[in-house]
Amino acid sequence: MSDTQNPARVAIVTGGSGGIGRAVAARLAADGLAVVVHYSGNEAKAQDAVKEITAAGGRATAFGGDVAEHEEMAALFQHATDTFGGVDVVAHTAGIMPLAPIAQMDLETFDRIQRTNVRGTFVISQLAAQQVRAGGAIINFSTSITRLQMPTYGAYAASKGAVEAMTLILARELRGRDITVNAVAPGPTATPLFFEGKSEQVINHIASLNPMERLGTPEDIAEVAAFLAGPARWINGQVLYTNGGAA
């Protein structure tokens, strides 16, 4: 059902079916934005996120696709426009994080990380730059690992270094458009992606590294995204390290 006559702001959240993305989608919806919950492979989780948002009185829809494929993401943006009337905020949380020491990671895995995290960010940023309306915000996601420099994260950190570079340059390319472009760089956050493959001992050690002595929560990160999406109009071309003081 089209809702193009409603003047409410509209957000696309990539990777919105779980983890940080789902928290961001819920938080933006709570602020009154209509939300398109993007998913890559798990439609059921995305539909669950939509149900949670609508049950709380918000507006949301789900749409799937590969972030690294331009045509599929162009369809995502068109769905947002057809359903809600346009795009004001893009929160690009989608990404993958296979881990291995540089000396041991196979090139196929390395290429898959770069395709999703670098090419995917480029595709989303390009479409956002073309379509986000004045007064809007583009929010990419990096990682505090670019500062923490933890072993086994080399390929992932390399991809997120590229994300930061693209973000800072895009902010300057959009001069005069009244669109902010920033990156959120979470520290270790309690999501399934973070817990995968880690022992309890390792998890506890990582949680102890910041002065708050805990892992971040998806809601911690979502608060920062909501700030950038709404009132933070004088923050532009920045990377916000959101990690409890770990780096």
Render pLDDT for 139-194 as a digit per residue (tens, 0 to 9).
Answer: 999 999 999 898 999 999 999 999 999 999 999 999 999 999 999 999 999 998 78
Tokens of 197: 């493959």
When pLDDT is cut at 50, 70 and 90, the band that residue 4 belongs to is very low
Above 60 in pLDDT, residue 2? Answer: no
Residue 103 counted as domain residue: yes
Structure confidence by residue, pLDDT tens digits, 99-137: 999 999 999 999 999 999 999 999 999 999 999 999 999
Residues known to be catalytic? 156
DSSP code string of 75-98: HHHHHHHHHHS--SEEEE------
- pLDDT reported for residue 226: 98
Element at 240 (helix H, strand E):
strand 239-242
Please write the tens of the pLDDT for every residue from 10-41: 999 999 998 999 999 999 999 999 999 999 98
Query: Has residue 4 been placed in a domain?
Result: no
Please count the other Cβ atoms lying within 10 Å of the Cβ belonging to residue 127: 20
The closest alpha carbon to 70, from 124, 31, 8, 149, belongs to 124
Count Cα neighbours of 122 within 13 Å in the Cβ-side half-sphere: 12
Q: What is the pTM of this model?
A: 0.95
In a domain, 110, yes or no: yes
247 in a structural domain: no
pLDDT score at 58: 98
Residue-range definition of the domain harbouring residue 119: 10-242
**Whole-number Å distance between alpha carbons of 137 and 10:** 11
Say if CB 159 and CB 113 are below 8 A apart. Answer: yes
CATH classification of the domain holding 60: 3.40.50.720
Total domains in the fold of the chain:
1
94 lies in a domain? yes
Q: Which two three-digit tokens encode residue 149?
A: 């420099």
**What is the pLDDT averaged over residues 71-86?**
98
Within a domain: 117: yes
Residue 5 lies in a domain: no
Total number of residues shown for the chain: 247
Question: 86: buried, middle or exposed (CB in 10 Å: 19+, 13-18, 0-12)?
Answer: middle
Using 50, 70 and 90 to split pLDDT, how confident is the model at 7?
A: low
Q: At what angle do helices 19-30 and 43-55 cross, to 10 degrees?
A: 30
Which residues make beta-bridge pairs with 186?
Answer: 242
DSSP H/E element including 184:
strand 180-186
39: closest CA among 70, 13, 17?
A: 17
Do 230 and 31 meet the contact criterion of CB atoms below 8 Å apart?
yes
Residue 1 within a domain: no
